[in-house]
Amino acid sequence: MELIIDDIPVKTASKKLYIETYGCAMNVSDSEIVASVLIDGGFLQTNDEFEADVVLLNTCAIRENAEQRIWHRLAALKNNKRKKPGLIVGVLGCMAERLKTKLLEQDQLVDLVVGPDAYRDLPNLISQVEDGEKAVNVLLSREETYAELSPVRLNSNGVSAFVSIMRGCNNMCSFCVVPFTRGRERSRDAHSIVREVEDLHKNGYKEVTLLGQNVDSYLWQNEDGSETCNFAQLLEKVALVDPNMRVRFSTSHPKDITDEVMHTIAKYDNICKYIHLPVQSGNSRILELMNRTYDREWYMSKVTRIREIIPECGISSDVISGFCSETEEEHQDTISLMKWANFDFSYMYSYSERPGTLAARKYPDDVKDDVKSRRLTEIIKVQNQMSANNNLKYIGKICKVLVENYSKKSKEDLMGRNDQNIICIFPKGNHQKGDYVNVLIERVSVTSLIGKVIE
Ligand code: SAM
Ligand code: SF4
Ligand code: F3S
C-alpha cells in the first residue's frame, strides 16, 4: 500500500531527479518543462547524478555524432546502475522520438523512452517503471504547447531565460530530422507567452529569447478566431512588458522573415539588433535539393532588406558543407555568399545523412568524408577571418552590455553580450549579474570584445 503525505505518494516523494540536456535551446527549454512536471509530481531536482533515483537524458538527433554521444553516455551510466540497482534511466527528446522502442531493444539499461510532446505523462511512466515495466510514450501532438506550465529554470544565471513560443516544424528541409522528431508546427497562446515574460521580469530576469524552429511563421489564433497574433505583433507585446527587458529570438527563416518583423525590431530599443538567419548553402541548385524554398538571390535580398531597415543589425548563419552532389564550384558559391553577407558568426557543420529524411531517401550521400571536412575547414577559416575583422570595428566604441556571469577564464572579469549578441569581457569592478553597463572596447579576439566599463 502507498502512504500519502500531503497528497504526494511516498513512493515518489523522496525521489531525486537528475536531467542532462543535449542539443538546441529548444531542448534546454523542454528540460525546464520536464522539471516542472516532475517537481509538481513530488520529485526533488538534484545536480548530482550519483544521488539521483531517476536520470533523464534529453537528447538530440540532428546529426549522427549527436546520437553517438548519447550511446556513449548510456554506456557510462551502466556504472551508476551497478552502484544503485534501482536507478531509473530515461531517454527523452528527439533521439527518443526517432528511435522509439528501438532504444529499449538496443540498450537494456534504458527503462523509459519519452518523446517531446509526452512530458505531461512522465509521472505515470515513471510509476510504471517502478512497478517493474519498461515505459514508452512517443505520441506526437498537434496541440501540445505546454502553454500554462511554469518552467523550472535549471542552471539559470537568473538574468536570461528561454521562452518557447511554438513547437514542431512544418518545413521539410530535405536534410533535417526535426519535422519527424517534433511533429507539426503549432503556436503557443500569445497571452501565456506574455504572462511568462511578465513573471520572469518580476523575478528579476533582464533578457528573454523567444524560441521556435521558424519564429517568422508564428501565428496564434484564439478559439473563436476573433483574435490573432503574428510574430511581429508578438515581438511588440513582449517588448512592451518592460523597456529594460531585452528581447531576442531564434530562429528566423529566410523564406518567411517580413519587413513588419524588421520594422518592429527597429522600433524598440529593447529588441536586440541581431538576427540568426541560416542560409545552409550559397548555391541555388543545392538550396533547391535541400528544399529550403528560397534561392541565393532571395537570401541576398533579405540580408539587403535587414541592412536597410536595421543598419546596425548583427547577422549570423548556419552552413552545411558537402550536401549530396555538391560540387567544388557550388561549395565556392557558399564561400562567396558568406563573404558577401559578412556574417558576424556562423554555426558550421558537415552534412550528416539522417535516416528517413527526404535527402536520405532521394539523394546519395556522395561527397566523400575527407572532402566534406576539407570544405568545412575552409568555411570555418573564412568565417573566423570575417568575425575577427567585424569585431575590429568595435575598437574605440562603447557597447551597452547586460552582465550575464563571470568570464570563463577569471572571476575578476565579467561577461555579457552587446545588442548584436557578441560576447564582451571586462574587469568586474563593482558590477554584478543583471546590471547594464557601458563597455569601451579596447581589444578583440575572433569570439569576443574586451574592454572596460565607462561609468
Ligand atoms: N529551424 C532552423 C532553420 O531552419 O534554420 C534550424 C534548426 S536545426 C536544429 C539547426 C541546424 O542544424 C540547421 O540550420 C542546419 O544547419 C543543421 N543541420 C540540420 N540537419 C543537419 C544534417 N542532417 N547534417 C548537418 N547539419 C544539419
Ligand atoms: Fe529543420 Fe528546416 Fe524545420 Fe529548420 S526549418 S527545423 S532546418 S525542417
Ligand atoms: Fe534540437 Fe536536436 Fe531536436 S537540434 S530540435 S534537440 S534534433
Structural domains of the chain, ranges and CATH numbers in brackets: 2-137 (3.40.50.12160), 160-392 (3.80.30.20), 398-453 (2.40.50.140)
List the residue whose alpha carbon is closest to atom 5 of ligand 2: 171
Asked if 115 contacts 79 with a C-beta cutoff of 8 angstroms, the reply is no
Mean pLDDT of all residues in the chain? Answer: 95
Ligand nearest to the Cα of 352, by number: 1
List the residue whose alpha carbon is closest to atom 5 of ligand 3: 178
**Continuous H helices in 310-363:** 328-341, 358-362
Q: What is the pTM (predicted TM-score) of this model? A: 0.95
Instruction: From residue 8, give the alpha-carbon distance in Å to each of 120, 179, 312, 319.
Output: 17, 37, 53, 49
C-alpha cell belonging to residue 369: 568524408
| Predicted confidence (pLDDT) per residue in 195-212, tens digit | 999 999 999 999 999 999
Q: Which ligand 1 atom sits nearest the alpha carbon of residue 350?
A: 25
* Residue 270 dihedral angles phi and psi, to the nearest 5°: -90, 0
Ligand nearest to the Cα of 27, by number: 3
- Which residues line ligand 2 at a C-beta cut-off of 6 Å? 169, 171, 173, 176, 178-179, 213-214, 253
List the residue whose alpha carbon is closest to atom 2 of ligand 3: 60
List the residue whose alpha carbon is closest to atom 1 of ligand 3: 24
Beta bridge partners of 436: 402
Q: Helices then strands (H, E): number in the chain?
A: 15, 23
Q: What percent of the chain has pLDDT over 70?
A: 97
Instruction: From residue 139, give the alpha-carbon distance in Å to each of 54, 65, 167, 172.
Output: 22, 25, 14, 20
At residue 32, the 3 state secondary structure works out as helix
- pLDDT reading at 340 higher than 70: yes
| Predicted confidence (pLDDT) per residue in 96-140, tens digit | 999 999 999 987 899 999 999 999 999 999 999 999 999 999 999
Predicted pLDDT of residue 13? 53
At residue 175, the 3 state secondary structure works out as coil
Q: Give residue 254's identity as a one-letter amino acid code.
A: P
